[in-house]
Amino acid sequence: MTNPHLSAGAVLSGRGLVKRYGQQHALAGIDIDVQPGEAIAIVGPSGSGKTSLLHVLAGILRADSGEIWLQGQRIDQFSEKRRSELRRTEFGFVFQSGMLVSELTAEENVALPSLLAGGTRGEAIAAAREWLGKLGLAGKEARLPGELSGGEAQRVAIARALTHRPKVIFADEPTGALDTRTGRETMDALLAAAQASGAAVLVVTHDRELAESMPRTVAIRDGLIATRLAA
C-alpha cells in the first residue's frame, strides 16, 4: 500500500511527523519530501526540532505518529532490527564529532559499515581505499583518527557514509567542530561525493552561510516547517 499524498519520485518522505518529549513537541506534524540526489539544509534555532527530524527520518527515533516512506516502503512500521539494517544499507551518517573508532585505521573505519552488512573484508577495504582516494586522503589509509587533522577525520567520516552507496546521507552539524575554511572544504567534499554517488543529503546546520549555499533550505521553528526556500 502506498500513501496517495506522497510526492512522486521522492526517495524519502515524511507525513504528519509528531515527536514529543513529555509534554513538549519536538515535531508537531511535519511533512517533508526528499528527491533523489537532492541536497537540503535544515535550519532553525536551538530546540526547534532539527535534529529530532533528522533522527526520526533516519529511523534512529520512532515518531509518536506520522508516516515515513523510503521509495515506496513505509519504514516507520519496521521492527527495530529492520530499521537497524536499513541504517546500515540505505542510509549514511556524518556527525559533528565524526564518531570514528579510535582503535581502527582510516580505511578500517570506512570499511566498517560494509563489514557489518556482511561484506567481505577484501571488498570492504578496497571500496574504503577508493573513497578515501576520491576525498583526497590517499596515503593516509593506515592512520588512526588521532593522527588526522579535524578536516581529514571528517573526510574519513564522509567516506564511511558513502562507501555502501546509500540513498540518503544524514549530516548533523558536520562542520560544527571545524574552522570556517576547513568546514567549507569539508562540506564541499561531502556534497560533491554525494552528488557523484547519487545520494540525497540532509544537513542540520547553524551555519547561515552554509545553509544559504545549499540548493534548498527547510527552516524549522517550534516543531513545524516555517519556510521552504529553493535556489
**pTM given for the model:** 0.89
How far lies 54's CA from each of 15, 26, 118, 144, in Å?
14, 11, 26, 29
Q: What whole-number distance in Å separates Cα of residue 73 and Cα of residue 68?
A: 8
Query: pLDDT tens digits, residue range 132-180?
Result: 998 999 999 999 999 999 999 999 999 999 988 899 999 998 888 888 8
The answer to whether the CB of 68 falls within 8 A of the CB of 57 is yes
Classify residue 230 by its DSSP letter: E
Print pLDDT tens along the chain (231 aa): 556 556 678 999 999 999 999 888 999 999 999 999 999 999 998 888 999 999 999 999 999 999 999 998 999 999 999 999 898 889 999 987 768 999 999 999 999 988 888 889 999 999 999 999 989 999 999 999 999 999 999 999 999 999 888 999 999 988 888 888 888 888 899 999 999 899 999 999 988 888 888 989 999 998 999 854 444
Assigned C-alpha cell, 146: 588521532
Continuous segment of H or E residues that includes residue 149 = none
pLDDT value, residue 231: 40
